[in-house]
Structure 1
């Protein structure tokens, strides 16, 4: 893993795989607010995914947001946000015991609250602003095939229930346990065989979740920001970033006060900025090398399948799914009624089914290629999981589309949010461990609070300190994907 983490992180490739969600691309895909690149801006945001869009939105809500310039290497929202599986799911019970053991029970509870709050915030924002992103709040089920995983899940749910007593509405501890027979009856999942080994359903965990087109949500937020003064420049990759310090004379005539300014270099010119935000997730080290080996790229793979003839209601199922086994999992949503390609099954994951548990997917930023082994595994997963309830494949074929995207992972498994130590005016919110849809929005909100000088006790009440960027965290060694998935017995 050390060698994979050392691979120099590159800019996004020019010819990525075509994401199902971005076909066809939105009207703002190639948007440039001004024909020429501005020479200066108060704030430059690098990256136009959900993090960049959320940072811009929250800045624009302030009384004096100043000029905000957003730079995107490719098309708008063409990175991980436009390439994920569309799942808004807080599987907090799976990490809660590990977080409690390695940080504190209070921090573990804080993280669980943030994840659920993030889902509610995204859903509420999409609804309030009528963003056409096929939002479907619904329940989800984690179908567990490994006996040890099932034992851990039951213990984790008990711990969550103790930490979060039941209350009105959906709460952080509101998880339901299903027996193996209940899972098979209610959710159409069957025992199966993979590579000659039996996969038997052990049980399931149900809770609140949802699905949406993260791409349509992202470009929807960007559109709102454009209406409030954001300058978006697509096709503008950042090739260099340098801090310039100059002495400033005060009103009293005193000199020697150092003021930092940033030079953001691109192929279209250089922009001077008072502050810069890295909303670059897996690509962060390509812009600021201090993050090399700290935010490690990981290529994920997703596939859209036409529903089998046996699935009820044309395929648009009432719940979303995860399929959990030893060392790994897949996640799955179906496209809701009324959406384009209603009933399509979108399934992602399968990393550990590749050779060496997917080792060669770490350290790569090439989302222009597919892993053939993962492709075959994902293709065969749906009829294996649903068995006879899958039915016959669609006459036009099972696979409609498949694509890859680049995620970002940190050594300790937490996002990196805040001002980069020792670099006044350089801010970042990145490294979401493949769970951006339950982290990005609230992390962006917290980052703007910090940027605007409201880093106070009120913020610390809901934003975990372990997410903040520190010198200690920047010095940690990457040893692998901690989110897959920390087990209580490992603590």
Structure 2
């Protein structure tokens, strides 16, 4: 793993695999608010995904102006525009580990933040009329590993004990029989189900959501510059920053890195600390025997050393009924080790992609039926996530570098972390780093010297 973490992080690649969510790129995909790059700005945000968009919105809403956003490719074309569309925390799966390592208070705080993030995203989409197929709903984790099943039940009990009556500890345990009867899994083709856990989650097009937030920011004066790669950052003698790009340089009082898996390309101290990991996702037409009214929940399929995650496109959406399923890392050669350290989202790992392509008939068994006459696979793509040594994002001001702010490294868990982390970051930037922030934002997410020197060992379960 040391060798993979040491691979120099590159800029985003040209001509990536085409994401299902971007088959019809939005009208602002290649927008440049001004023909030329401004010479100066109060704030430069690097990255136009959900983090960059959320930071920009919160800054603009608090009265800031003169904000320039730089994006290496099209708007919202990174991880936010390439994920599986899941707003799902699965907080119980990490709760025992967090409790053991950091204490019950921290474990509870993280679980509450994750649920608050899910609710905030869907509420924001509704409040602002963002058409992103927002679908708050329940989810089911179907568990195929006996040891994991035992630990899952212990974790749910631990959460109930630690936070009784709290919405973030509401889980329902299902027997294997209930999983087969209510959720259509493990029938005919797979009898290895041990049980299931259901709880609050949701799905949406995070691309359309991110684009929607960007449009709100543009209406408030954001200057968006797409297809503009950041090549270097330089601290100026007057305390500001020089941002060198593929189209010239821009000076800024402060800079925000919203660059997730690509962060180490811009700021070298994150090399080996925020490590890229390539994820695989497919969109598949449903089988002939699947419920005509749609599946009742979203899904994850938990097996030894890994998991797949799955949503179905809701009624009224484009490609209604399509099933989007991603994951499969542990099914790759050597448990997918070659996916670490790569920023190549122009290509696939054949072994992982083949596993995803055949996964749905295996999971749904006799309930799948015949493949669609047009073919099961509609689209397949990859995207680059950012992973840290301890499983937490890095949020705050870079140590010893005044006005260099960071919110990066979301472990493929961005849709339940990015929104609230951006809110916390803007509070810090506005001088609101106080007890109120500490009451809901985990100390463990902050940037420390110790965290910047941790060894990267690979993916943590989140």
TM-score (norm 2): 0.99
- Mapped contact 1:70–1:230 kept (Cα < 8 A): yes
Q: Could you tell me how far 1:422 is from its partner in structure 2?
A: 0.7
Match of 1:87 in 2: 86
**Structure 1 residue 236 and structure 2 residue 228: aligned?**
yes
2:144 and 2:29 map into 1 onto residues whose CA distance is: 41
Deviations 1:268-322 (A, max 9, x none): 11000000000000000011111000000000000000010110126x3120000
Kindly report structure 1 stretches of 4+ aligned residues shifted beyond 6 Å.
none
1:399 and 1:98 map into 2 onto residues whose CA distance is: 37
- Mapped contact 1:144–1:324 kept (Cα < 8 A): yes
Match of 1:141 in 2: 140
Q: Secondary structure at the match of 2:213?
A: helix
- Mapped contact 2:43–2:254 kept (Cα < 8 A): yes
- Mapped contact 2:183–2:296 kept (Cα < 8 A): no
2:197 and 2:142 map into 1 onto residues whose CA distance is: 7
Match of 2:27 in 1: 27
1:35 and 1:433 map into 2 onto residues whose CA distance is: 36
2:187 and 2:276 map into 1 onto residues whose CA distance is: 34
Q: Could you tell me how far 1:166 is from its partner in structure 2?
A: 2.2
1:43 and 1:116 map into 2 onto residues whose CA distance is: 30
Q: Could you tell me how far 1:263 is from its partner in structure 2?
A: 0.3
Of residues 465, 469, 480 in structure 1, which corresponds to 2:458?
Answer: 480
1:199 and 1:236 map into 2 onto residues whose CA distance is: 51
Segments of structure 1 that go 5 or more residues without pairing to the other structure are: 247-259, 486-491
Decide which structure has the larger Cα Rg and report it: 1
Q: Count the aligned residue pairs.
A: 462
1:330 and 1:128 map into 2 onto residues whose CA distance is: 31
2:162 and 2:3 map into 1 onto residues whose CA distance is: 40
Deviations 1:391-423 (A, max 9, x none): 100000000000000000000100100001011
TM-score (norm 1): 0.93
- Mapped contact 2:135–2:204 kept (Cα < 8 A): yes
Match of 2:7 in 1: 7
Of residues 244, 252, 272 in structure 1, which corresponds to 2:251?
Answer: 272
Match of 1:261 in 2: 240
Return closer, same or farther for 1:8/1:278 CA change in 2, 3 Å cut-off.
same
- Structure 1 segment 181-330 matched on structure 2, within 5 A: 181-190=177-186, 200-246=192-238, 260-313=239-292, 316-330=294-308
- Mapped contact 1:191–1:200 kept (Cα < 8 A): no
- Mapped contact 1:18–1:403 kept (Cα < 8 A): yes
Match of 1:447 in 2: 425
- Mapped contact 2:65–2:221 kept (Cα < 8 A): no
Indicate the larger mover: 157-166 or 333-342.
157-166
Q: Secondary structure at the match of 1:208?
A: strand
Return closer, same or farther for 1:225/1:334 CA change in 2, 3 Å cut-off.
same
Indicate the larger mover: 142-151 or 237-246.
237-246
What RMSD over aligned residues (CA atoms) do the two structures have, in Å?
A: 1.0
Deviations 1:179-211 (A, max 9, x none): 000000000001677xxxx76000000001100
- Mapped contact 1:449–1:455 kept (Cα < 8 A): yes
